[in-house]
Structure 1
Amino acid sequence: MGSSQSSGSTSGNNESSAAGPSTSLPQVLPVPLEILEEIFLHLPPHQVVGVCRSVCRQWREVSDSESLWRERCRREGYRPRDPSKMTKDWRLFYFLCKKRRNLLKNPKAEHGMTDWRIVENGGDGWCFGELRRPHPNETVQKDFVTSYGMCRKSQLIDLKVEGYNPSFMDRFQPEIRIYDWYSPRCDCGSKYELRVELLNHKKQSLQTFAPETVYFEQWTDEKWTQITHVFQDYGPGVRYIHFIHGGKDTQFWAGRYGVRVTDSCVEINPAMDS
């Protein structure tokens, strides 16, 4: 009887062993790194980070590799101004280039005065409306209009909230580009002002762009003019950008005959232009 039990036990183990492989999950076969990297280069970047990276150790290493993101930058034309600073930061550099955008909200008056802080509201105050003259940018259909007393409005951009962490800003000091569009009325004199400040964590000014006030005489050609500026090599510590602009009419006419502004922009540009 003992012999019979021993035989049964051995038979059971063999059956269990035979059944094991049929119920186990197939293993991910290793793929040469250069082939895997080429596959990842043809996938959407967020899929590489969000999905591929979690599959296995090998895929995670390729997803995090400097060579993958450096090659991705090369293929998409993103070139750093100082490649010596890019060691192990190519993925961060790539995504910040991809997210380049206007950091000002509601720059074209499409949502009225929403997102703007009114600093001064002189005369009959700020308003917004349809363009008097077509803008060079066909997507611009509205503008902000000033009155006979000084009108200023502003936005404070928190760079960390917008995805630009302090270490990135301090180390790379990417270009900060600003521009603004303004236009007078032809039948009334007016003036235009702009001030853009780079601020530290205490909101103290580190660097300022404040060009001379622009004055328009009555019967000036009613055209749109763009003013631009690029902050470079501004040093560490920049955490906020304060954008302020406005103006007024210079003949004190009731209503809103002052300078008009629209399509303002502040953007972070980590890469060299092609």
Structure 2
Amino acid sequence: MSSAEWKAKCEAEWGLQGAPIPDSLNWESVFEAKPFGRNFLRNPCPYGLSKDSPPPEPELRDTPSRGPPPSQPEGDFSDWTTSNDVLPYDSSCIPQGAVVCQLPRYSWFSTEQVVDLKAEGLWEELLDEFQPKIVIQDCYEESQLHDSIYQLHVKLLGSDKSTVISEYSINPTEDRSNYSHTWKEVSHVFSGYGAGVRYVHFLHRLKNMFLNDFFNTMFTGSSVVLKPTKTSP
């Protein structure tokens, strides 16, 4: 196929009528990259779990775990950058004069990725003028470990990877009065975000707890997907 034919195929395949489609692009490569409708995040389910099935119930050991708590949960976190932030003990709920043998120790486990939109097949004119919708989705386990067990921070960054053009954050408070142990879905759509976006920084934090054993909050189905829909400020 000629370059013009590949260009027409891309335009028809994704419904990009009205979008800037410069002749200088290698349209065969763009078509093969399939930049619309696929998940740009690598390894979106590091625990090997699907959001279509309930998360497994935590296993309770017959004997307490010995030694220091793990630095991170068990799972395949390849393609993610991870970090662990151990939190100070919270003694505010202890009645005066009470004797405490052990307090739960909480930590935030962070996993993040940076998506290079141009490397994924998008082009500058499309991002700056057409500004396709950027759809963020994530699922986290209703672990009941704490009132706050999940945080999500997503930033749209400029070419220098430090200029924040648009961002979204959420830190929900859990209702622990009703135990259902399901996946909770979080989503957000970026639209009309302005020119200059070249990267998406996806970061979420999930709370873990150590009390005689290690308990964690899992996630699955993380995604960053572009839709070929024109948006405006």
How high is the TM-score relative to the length of structure 2?
A: 0.64
| 1:169 CA drift (Å) | 1.3
**1:69 counterpart = 2:28:** no
* Residue 257 of structure 1, aligned match among 212, 215, 220: 215
Q: Tell me which residue corresponds to 2:15.
A: 79
Q: Gapped runs of 5+ residues in structure 1?
A: 1-47, 54-62, 124-146
> What are the residue-to-residue correspondences of 1:1-274 with 2, within 5 Å?
48=1, 53=2, 64=4, 69=8, 73-74=11-12, 78-80=14-16, 83-86=17-20, 95=31, 98-100=34-36, 101-109=38-46, 110=48, 112-122=76-86, 148-185=106-143, 188-189=145-146, 191-202=149-160, 203-217=162-176, 220-249=179-208, 253-271=211-229
Q: Distance in 1 between matches of 2:109 and 2:163?
A: 23
Higher helix share: 1
| 1:201 CA drift (Å) | 1.4
Q: Which amino acid aligns with 1:149?
A: S
| 1:194 CA drift (Å) | 0.5
| 1:88 CA drift (Å) | 6.0
Q: Distance in 2 between matches of 1:216 and 1:185?
A: 11
Q: Tell me which residue corresponds to 1:140.
A: none
Q: Distance in 1 between matches of 2:33 and 2:76?
A: 30
Q: Distance in 2 between matches of 1:229 and 1:254?
A: 37
| 1:192 CA drift (Å) | 0.8
Count residues with an aligned counterpart: 181
What SS is found at the alignment partner of 1:170? Answer: helix
Contact persistence 2:20–2:125 (CA under 8 A): no
Q: Distance in 2 between matches of 1:166 and 1:151?
A: 34
How high is the TM-score relative to the length of structure 1?
A: 0.56
Percent of matched pairs sharing the same residue: 28
Contact persistence 1:183–1:225 (CA under 8 A): yes
Q: Gapped runs of 5+ residues in structure 2?
A: 49-74, 88-104
> What do the CA deviations read for 1:207-237 (whole angstroms, capped 9, x no partner)?
1110233335276210111111110011111
| 1:152 CA drift (Å) | 1.0
Sort the Cα spacing of 1:254 and 1:117 in 2 relative to 1 into closer, same or farther, 3 A. farther
Q: Which amino acid aligns with 1:104?
A: L
Sort the Cα spacing of 1:120 and 1:222 in 2 relative to 1 into closer, same or farther, 3 A. same
Q: Which has the higher contact order (CA 8 A, sep 6+)?
A: 2
Q: Distance in 2 between matches of 1:217 and 1:265?
A: 27
Q: Distance in 2 between matches of 1:106 and 1:255?
A: 27
Contact persistence 1:148–1:257 (CA under 8 A): no
Q: Which amino acid aligns with 1:85?
A: A
Q: Distance in 2 between matches of 1:184 and 1:234?
A: 31
Deviates more, 1:158-167 or 1:173-182: 158-167
Q: What RMSD in Å do the two structures reach over aligned CA positions? A: 3.3
